[in-house]
Structure 1
Amino acid sequence: MSQQSTPPGEVTTVACIGAGVIGGGWVAHFLARGYRVVAWDPAEDAAARLGRLVDAAWPALRELGLATGASRANLAVATTLEQAVAEAEFVQESAPEDLDLKRDLLARIDAAAPEGVVISSSTSGYEMSDMQRDCSDPSRLVVGHPFNPPYLIPLVEVVGGERTDQWATRWTSEFFELTGKSVITMDREVPGFVANRLQEAIWREALHMLDNGEATVEQIDTAITEGPGLRWPLFGPCMTFHLAGGEGGMAHMLDHFGPSLKSPWTRLQAPELTPELRDAMVDGCERSAGERDIAELVDERDRAIIAVLRAVKGVRGEQS
């Protein structure tokens, strides 16, 4: 069982294993935050492809603001995996979503990376408990699941496996936060994590509606971009429904609309709205609201929606 010797705030060198769309996005993100990045990918054209990915991402990163010392010149492409991780103080793996491949690759990284260096996987669905099976030091392996493109979308979900030490999960979450990420540190493993499961629920219902002739692709997309999607940049689904309850908040919303959970609005079966589930949702919304009352939350929501509408109009070239 190892212990990370480099504090999260003192990391200077990151290894990125896998240089596809996700791996390349991670490379661009770390370069923009001022790190030295050593990448490796088994593809023959990996260096050229990675260079194009970083070049394409750089204008957006420059617009967001580069960290002091950030430069594309800080990227090196190694010829072997062992060379890539030799001096790494953090490793991000982004190989294709194949369990056997992940197991083998993570075991190779574990064997080659310096002792105590955290190894994070970009897997979009596998549990770390299943991937760390063949590693000699599974205590340092965690999931660091990003959203595409990793250099723009802040979210990363962090969770360890059954054999992961708590220090590794805490260290990884702190490190990602220092790189500018918005981190969800999960309390337990769940296939698909949090965001993918929510996204997948919408996606599956969209496929059902299209398959049954209930809505077109355009109608489905417009239903999100011109509807609930405008509310979600500031408040997610839980806080959105908290405001839907008016002055009574989530408690009123659940007590009034709870029976509609049994309505056949989606193909996803709703859980039983037990008193325990009701209270857990109400308490969570109250914690999220903090000292803000409903009127203040509504004001924040409305200003955010206006900002999003204006931003989208600007992208489309429309007049405000």
Structure 2
Amino acid sequence: MTVAVVGAGTIGLSWTTLMLAKGHTVRVTDPRPDLSEAVRDAVREFAPTVPGFAGDAEELLSRVEIVGSVEEAVDGVQAVQENGPERLEFKQDLFAAIEKAAPDSALLLSSTSGLTPSSMSSRMTAPQRLVVGHPFNPPHLLPLVELVGSSDREVARAKEFYLSLGKVAVVVHQEIRGHVANRLQRVLFEECVNLVEQGVVSMTELDDIVTNSVGVRWATVGPFLAFHLGGGPGGLRHMMSHLMPYIPSDVQQRLADQAETVYPLAQNESRAARRDRQQLGIISLKERDDDVR
């Protein structure tokens, strides 16, 4: 497959490396004057860290095509991954140009971290073609990509493509600025800033708190499953009813019912054991890495 990467900043260069490592030819365009050098340096640096890749970075570079325009980049490709500046009008014009020059069958994907597909596609003839494929940076390392789009068919095609790259592709069912991961990150970071500014803890102390508690836990189970397991035999229902009076009772009921459907209580013991094994593995890895330093 030939993929066009439009925009070669940090995210675009990371996508380029991952797609090369997965066997694709990648056509890269960006107005930066050092584009060839930037791609070469990034691939050499990033390729050895791509999970599962044990090949030669120089071989990957043989499948890179550096081109001078968006139209040339997207001509004849099977997929386009856009990584331009987070400016709405810029992206509107860019996707209108991409749509005209790319094949009708090509996937049109955007790495935007906050803009919605309906806003970016407003100048396209077929706006349903645009799908947000927002990675968690850097995409050659972190598995998540969030998918947002108005066409179930295009979202499904995009998901299949990202799964082939080894990503964990999660469909976000409604447009919302910032998607999901960045909204969660923003809320947590705002409280981090508040705690440090109030003198409750220092910056380094707060980082130590997160990386030795919820950081380890959330790397193995998400917030809902964490509280479902933390609630013992009663699961999330017990946890909320005893410790979360700020959540309305009808919401508690709906969430508890959903948790018990997707995470049956009878399996919580084995889930907790798996969580503990994974947490111990993360802690052990951190300790070994600290010893090396």
- TM interval, shorter chain, is over 0.9
Give the whole-Å Cα distance in 1 for the aligned partners of 2:46 and 2:266.
37
Give the whole-Å Cα distance in 1 for the aligned partners of 2:252 and 2:218.
22
Q: CA offsets per residue over residues 82-119 of structure 1, 9 Å max, x none?
A: 11111210100001111111111111111111112121
1:28 aligns with 2:17: yes
Give the whole-Å Cα distance in 1 for the aligned partners of 2:266 and 2:275.
12
Report what 1:14 is aligned to.
3
1:76 aligns with 2:60: no
CA distance 1:83–1:290, change in 2 (3 Å): farther
Q: Which amino acid aligns with 1:158?
A: L
Report what 1:154 is aligned to.
143
Q: Counterparts in 2 of 1:208-287, with a 5 A limit?
A: 208-259=194-245, 261=246, 272-275=247-250, 277-287=251-261
Q: Secondary structure at the match of 1:44?
A: coil
Check conservation: 2:47, 2:53, Cα contact below 8 A.
no
Report what 1:88 is aligned to.
77
Give the whole-Å Cα distance in 2 for the aligned partners of 1:152 and 1:126.
23
CA distance 1:292–1:122, change in 2 (3 Å): farther
Give the whole-Å Cα distance in 1 for the aligned partners of 2:170 and 2:125.
27
Give the whole-Å Cα distance in 2 for the aligned partners of 1:21 and 1:168.
26
Check conservation: 2:233, 2:265, Cα contact below 8 A.
no
Q: Counterparts in 2 of 1:1-320, with a 5 A limit?
A: 12-61=1-50, 64-65=52-53, 71-160=60-149, 164-259=150-245, 261=246, 272-275=247-250, 277-290=251-264, 293-317=267-291
Give the whole-Å Cα distance in 2 for the aligned partners of 1:101 and 1:190.
20
CA distance 1:232–1:108, change in 2 (3 Å): same
Check conservation: 1:116, 1:140, Cα contact below 8 A.
no
Q: CA offsets per residue over residues 265-307 of structure 1, 9 Å max, x none?
A: xxxxxxx5241x2133223323442586222121111101111
Give the whole-Å Cα distance in 2 for the aligned partners of 1:50 and 1:289.
44
Q: CA offsets per residue over residues 41-86 of structure 1, 9 Å max, x none?
A: 111111211221111101112x633589972321111121111111
Q: CA offsets per residue over residues 21-60 of structure 1, 9 Å max, x none?
A: 0011110110111111111111111121122111110111
Q: Secondary structure at the match of 1:317?
A: helix
Give the whole-Å Cα distance in 1 for the aligned partners of 2:236 and 2:210.
22
| Residues paired across the two proteins, number | 292
Unaligned ranges ≥5, structure 1: 1-11, 262-271
Q: CA offsets per residue over residues 223-265 of structure 1, 9 Å max, x none?
A: 1101111111220111111111111100100111122x3xxxx
Check conservation: 1:92, 1:121, Cα contact below 8 A.
yes
Q: Is the deviation greater in 104-113 or in 284-293?
A: 284-293
Give the whole-Å Cα distance in 2 for the aligned partners of 1:145 and 1:274.
34
Give the whole-Å Cα distance in 1 for the aligned partners of 2:189 and 2:37.
34
Give, in angstroms, the shift of residue 122 of structure 1: 0.4
Higher relative contact order (Cα pairs below 8 Å, separated by 6+ residues): 1
Give the whole-Å Cα distance in 2 for the aligned partners of 1:184 and 1:246.
28
Q: Which amino acid aligns with 1:289?
A: Y
Check conservation: 1:39, 1:75, Cα contact below 8 A.
yes
Give the whole-Å Cα distance in 1 for the aligned partners of 2:125 and 2:54.
37
Check conservation: 1:16, 1:93, Cα contact below 8 A.
yes
Q: Which amino acid aligns with 1:255?
A: S
Check conservation: 1:120, 1:143, Cα contact below 8 A.
yes
